[in-house]
Structure 1
Amino acid sequence: MKISIIIPVYNVEKYITNCLSNILNQTYKKIEIIVVDDGSTDESAILCDKFEKEYQNIKVVHQENKGLSGARNTGLKYVTGEYFFFLDADDWIDKDYVRQCVSFLNKDKPDILVTSFKKEYKDKTVGVTLNVKPKKRINIKNGRSFFLRRLIGEYGKELKHPGKIEDYNPAWGKFYKSRVFRQQKFLDNRKYRSEDLLFNIDAFYKAKSYEYLNTVYYHYNKQNEGSIVSSHDPVLFKQFNKLYGWIDHFITEKDLPELYKKSLNNRIILNLITISINECMLTPDKFKDNKEKFINILNDDLYKKAFSKFSYTELPLSYKIFFKLCEYKRVYLLRTMVKIAMSRREEIKR
């Protein structure tokens, strides 16, 4: 069985050599590596070309910058393997990752294979396991009631762990059957927040089966994060709005149960964590100038409607306080709470 690995590359000269070496050192060798250089301006393209000249199973495609979604869509055009998966250029996988996954895929040939992953901080590794029994085959009926619905949002007792809402989203850490998903496209990540999520919602709706393997890991590099202050996104709220509109239309179009709407409502509230970090981690002067914009965001009808249907019952106390501050637009208290939480996260990283 041939496996296609798609690697989007943009200004990652610090990581790309290790990334490609990691794949070439896999115990499983029937691999094609599709590298899409998305208009890099550093030495990334040169390094990729050197690997292509040396190894026959590496193909490098150069294109003008189209963003992550555009790079992945280009990579999909060159897939010839029975399954494909995505690997970010600053991440890596266990040495036996592909072999174990292929062994699993050969047995039942599920449409999607999901693996666990580890978040790699500078001085700490945090393992992430999904709420799925190991080596469990889930057919289309159960899959839609669990994974698809869980992608759309948390519900009930899942809200006890609101920080896990994004753990199911990534396109990486999953093997997709090529004949089912090769023609599927990522939406433009410059227009929609969380293009991985949208890709997977569509994929898990189409999937007739999937399986979960938690004996090997994808390693998600959390060291390569830019400054939160410098990476403020002025259009984040608009991107989230487009995301919610797309999901709401999907639920209606596919005539999914009401529980999916309730889960989406919870996602709208839980994603206020990301919105608040984006707005609160500005310098004091910039936050003062931005305060009214933040209040207007929190005062949007989207959140008024979502809070009116939201249950705080299962939330941990700290999250109850946080979302109450959001609901009542107490932006200075929110800023204090966010800064304390983020400083603790930095301590964990160090």
Structure 2
Amino acid sequence: MDDQVKASIIIPVYNAQNTIRRAIDSAVNQTTDEPYEVILINDGSKDGSAAILDAYASRYAYVRVIHQANQGITRTRENGIRAARGEYVFWVDADDYADKHLLAKTLPLLESGADVVIYGTQYFCENGGRADNRIRKNISDAAYWKQQALNANLSTIWTYGTRRAFWEGETAPSEVARSAADGYMTIRIFDKARVFRVLPDILYYHLVDSPFSIRHTFNGKRYLGNAFLWYYRLKCSETAYPENVEPCAARAMSGYIKAYAMDTVIHDLTEEDRKNIIKALRDLKRYSISGRIRDKLLGWAILHNQLWLCRIYARHKNSKTQQMNQKMQKD
């Protein structure tokens, strides 16, 4: 049976009882004639998600459910790779859904030699309205897509399908486990790929963020993840893509500074995290960075232990974030 599974669609699930049926329906109703599996991973949900997943597994022989204690999205995805049997892997988030022709249109390209197939994404609102969409340029040059991953123009894993072998053995660093793991893993996967193909078709539908999304949570851990990723992009770009270096350095510096500053109020970083931030900020002084005066001032304050400036910034940022989230909930 394992040799017959051509593709694995992996869906991590955490407290998604209101949207998960839509995601699973899109996965089980694929139009391909190729054998495939759907792996549903319940990451310690506290709502009714687990029962929904079990119901689908009892109905469809090619649906498998894994129940686990909560580990977070990044480790859950890694568990999904370990469980997958398909030659190719596709990702669907629990509040998104895939086009029914996703596999039918991408698998022939992968079977004919493509390492990665990139496809279009439609963003949508929960009330049914459409937001922006993302149609990728029909460019097959591998260097182009590797650079797109490094400069963050393509950094979500649900916008492409690829060989499972590329995912095996990959583990995201702890710094990006809470945020930014998609961008890190895309760089890693694309670095292994040699043949890229692009489909202009919209084959994935992504729910526009709710105010409860991690994207609207600003704390030390989140900023640390983003900073770590930009620092990684910087180091990867130095030899092959020098034009990326200064922008990556500026984003890394800004993220590290914000992470350290937010921690002075929230206290969510470890002592090792703080030491690594100081080390990175000192290293970043070697680069030509034309960042904001605010960032340079906060960077000076961190390196000279004038943390009262960081606390002022962090409290102001927290206040603005709370106001933004309250407004989004009302809207």
Deviation at 1:2, TM superposition (A): 2.1
- Listed one character per residue, the Cα deviations across residues 40-83 of structure 1 (whole Å, up to 9, x for unaligned) are 22221121111111100101112222211211111112222221
Unaligned runs of 5+ in 2: 267-273, 299-308
- Closer, same or farther in 2 for the Cα pair 1:238/1:269, shift >3 Å? closer
Structure 1 residues 95-110: aligned runs within 5 Å: 95-106=100-111, 108-110=112-114
Name the counterpart of 1:195: 181
Name the CA distance, whole Å, in 2 between partners of 1:205 and 1:90.
29
Structure 1 residues 108-147: aligned runs within 5 Å: 108-122=112-126, 124-129=129-134, 132-134=136-138, 136-138=139-141, 143-144=142-143, 146-147=144-145
Deviation at 1:8, TM superposition (A): 0.9
Structure 1 residues 222-237: aligned runs within 5 Å: 222-226=208-212, 231-237=217-223
| 8 Å CA contact 1:266, 1:306 repeated in 2 | no
- Given the alignment, which residue of 12, 19, 23 partners 1:15? 19
| 8 Å CA contact 2:88, 2:163 repeated in 1 | yes
Name the CA distance, whole Å, in 1 between partners of 2:105 and 2:213.
36
- One-letter amino acid of the counterpart of residue 122, structure 2: K
Unaligned runs of 5+ in 1: 154-164, 280-286, 291-295, 313-322
The yes-or-no answer on 1:309 pairing with 2:288 is: yes
| 8 Å CA contact 2:223, 2:255 repeated in 1 | no
Structure 1 residues 165-180: aligned runs within 5 Å: 165=152, 167-178=153-164, 180=165
Name the CA distance, whole Å, in 1 between partners of 2:216 and 2:93.
22
- Closer, same or farther in 2 for the Cα pair 1:93/1:243, shift >3 Å? same
Name the CA distance, whole Å, in 2 between partners of 1:20 and 1:78.
18
Deviation at 1:215, TM superposition (A): 1.1
Q: Secondary structure at the match of 1:213?
A: strand
- One-letter amino acid of the counterpart of residue 24, structure 2: L
Q: Which is bigger in relative contact order (C-alpha 8 A, separation at least 6)?
A: 1
Name the counterpart of 1:259: 243
Q: Secondary structure at the match of 1:137?
A: coil
Deviation at 1:119, TM superposition (A): 2.1
- RMSD of Structure 2 on Structure 1 (CA): 4.3
Name the CA distance, whole Å, in 2 between partners of 1:21 and 1:91.
11
- Closer, same or farther in 2 for the Cα pair 1:227/1:90, shift >3 Å? closer
Structure 1 residues 30-45: aligned runs within 5 Å: 30=34, 31-45=36-50
Name the CA distance, whole Å, in 2 between partners of 1:148 and 1:231.
29
Q: Secondary structure at the match of 2:123?
A: strand
- Closer, same or farther in 2 for the Cα pair 1:176/1:116, shift >3 Å? same
Name the counterpart of 2:194: 208
Name the CA distance, whole Å, in 2 between partners of 1:82 and 1:97.
15
Name the counterpart of 2:91: 86
Deviation at 1:121, TM superposition (A): 2.5
The yes-or-no answer on 1:185 pairing with 2:170 is: yes
| 8 Å CA contact 2:88, 2:161 repeated in 1 | yes
- Listed one character per residue, the Cα deviations across residues 257-283 of structure 1 (whole Å, up to 9, x for unaligned) are 53343352244367699x59x96xxxx
Report how many aligned residue pairs link the two structures. Answer: 304
Deviation at 1:115, TM superposition (A): 1.2
- Closer, same or farther in 2 for the Cα pair 1:270/1:17, shift >3 Å? same
Q: Secondary structure at the match of 1:172?
A: helix
Deviates more, 1:85-94 or 1:301-310: 301-310
- Given the alignment, which residue of 65, 69, 87 partners 1:60? 65
- One-letter amino acid of the counterpart of residue 252, structure 2: I
- Listed one character per residue, the Cα deviations across residues 229-252 of structure 1 (whole Å, up to 9, x for unaligned) are 983423334334433454455557
Name the counterpart of 2:301: none
- One-letter amino acid of the counterpart of residue 83, structure 2: Y
Deviates more, 1:230-239 or 1:112-121: 230-239
- Closer, same or farther in 2 for the Cα pair 1:257/1:103, shift >3 Å? closer
- Closer, same or farther in 2 for the Cα pair 1:339/1:203, shift >3 Å? same
- Closer, same or farther in 2 for the Cα pair 1:237/1:182, shift >3 Å? closer
Name the counterpart of 1:283: none
- Closer, same or farther in 2 for the Cα pair 1:183/1:29, shift >3 Å? same
Name the CA distance, whole Å, in 2 between partners of 1:271 and 1:94.
35
| 8 Å CA contact 1:83, 1:175 repeated in 2 | yes
